[in-house]
Amino acid sequence: MRSGSGLDGAVAAVGFMEESGLFNCGRGAYLTAEGKVELDAAVMSGEGLAGAGVGNVTSTHTPVTLARWVMENTKHVLVVGDRTRDYVRLAGLEVEELTPSRRVAARFEALQREAKYSEPLRTVRRFEAGDTVGAVALGSDGVPAAAVSTGGTWMKLPGRVGDSAILGAGLFADSGLGASCATGTGEEIIRVGLCLKACEFMGTDDAQRSAARAIGHITKVRGKGTAGIITVDLKGRVGAAFNTEAMGRAWFDHQKGRVVAAVGPDP
Ligand code: ASP
């Protein structure tokens, strides 16, 4: 960030994507096996390891703002379920009825034809993940931060919470290391504590090598097609790695003075 905190930057980027309806979060979120929207999100600032996640949010399309409120106003790091509704107004948001976009509803119908709700555990494996949004940023004060938001995996069981609500799994930030944020199959990301791992690697390596090492680790222990990660280190260098076919990402290139974006391998 040229000015302002990394947390402001990361939350603004994620909030923009929640609003867009283009990704698996906010207005474009994937649906549970019952066809409902249940959102997870989290924020973390490297300063004092401050952070919080929210899970199964059903009454605001911008759970990242709710997660920030939990972080700044409570002592908790995880709040989930229907009662998150109680905090929506306190966080300065409107209580909403979350309905799927037309594009998402059409996809749900197609998936439903392929799978039966009577076999939900199989569907969770079959329909996997993708398109969760996240951002990492180094504040002008040198403090790294991360934010993440998702509808979770397609056809997830109602009540399921994924990595994007959990510090150390879907995101991590530490003032002595850097920040990271993940996408992919939440169950696998939680198992290996992927984002904590990437940050620990930044104790000795740069952002890019740390991202690659973290993805190397999850590929080794849980297989390919499981995750992608973005990182920023304390020098403001960014990294990205994934073991899926592609991962959409964009970053500000300070040397070129412009935003660079990629979906497949680095440009
Ligand atoms: N990681 C998310 C989850 O499992 C899904 C995704 O990345 O799209 O909830």
What distance in Å separates the CA atoms of residue 31 and residue 157, rounded to the nearest whole number? 10
Helix ranges (DSSP H) in the chain: 6-20, 63-73, 85-88, 102-114, 120-127, 186-192, 194-201, 207-222
User: What residue ranges of the chain have pLDDT lower than 70?
Assistant: 115-129, 267
Domains of the chain: 6-262 (3.60.20.30)
What pLDDT is attached to residue 125? 47
Which tens digits make up the pLDDT trace of 100-122?
Answer: 999 999 988 888 777 655 455 45
Task: Output the CA 168–ligand 1 centroid distance in Å.
Answer: 14
Alpha carbon of 183 to ligand 1 centroid (Å): 5
- Asked if residues 18 and 131 have their Cβ atoms less than 8 Å apart, the reply is no
CB of residue 132 inside a 6 A radius of ligand 1? yes
Q: Note the pLDDT of residue 129.
A: 65
Q: Which residues are catalytic?
A: 132
Q: Which helix (H) or strand (E) holds 250?
A: strand 249-253
Interval between CA 195 and ligand 1 midpoint (Å): 13
Nearest residue by C-alpha to atom 8 in ligand 1: 130
Question: Can you give the pLDDT at residue 130?
Answer: 77
> Residue 21 Cα, ligand 1 centroid: separation in angstroms?
16
Instruction: Determine if ligand 1 sits within 6 Å of the CB of residue 24.
Output: yes
Please give the number of the atom of ligand 1 that sits closest to the Cα of 131.
Answer: 8
Q: Is the CB of 32 under 6 A from ligand 1?
A: no
pLDDT value at residue 124? 46
pLDDT tens per residue, range 118-176? 455 454 445 556 789 999 999 999 999 999 999 999 889 999 999 999 999 999 999 99
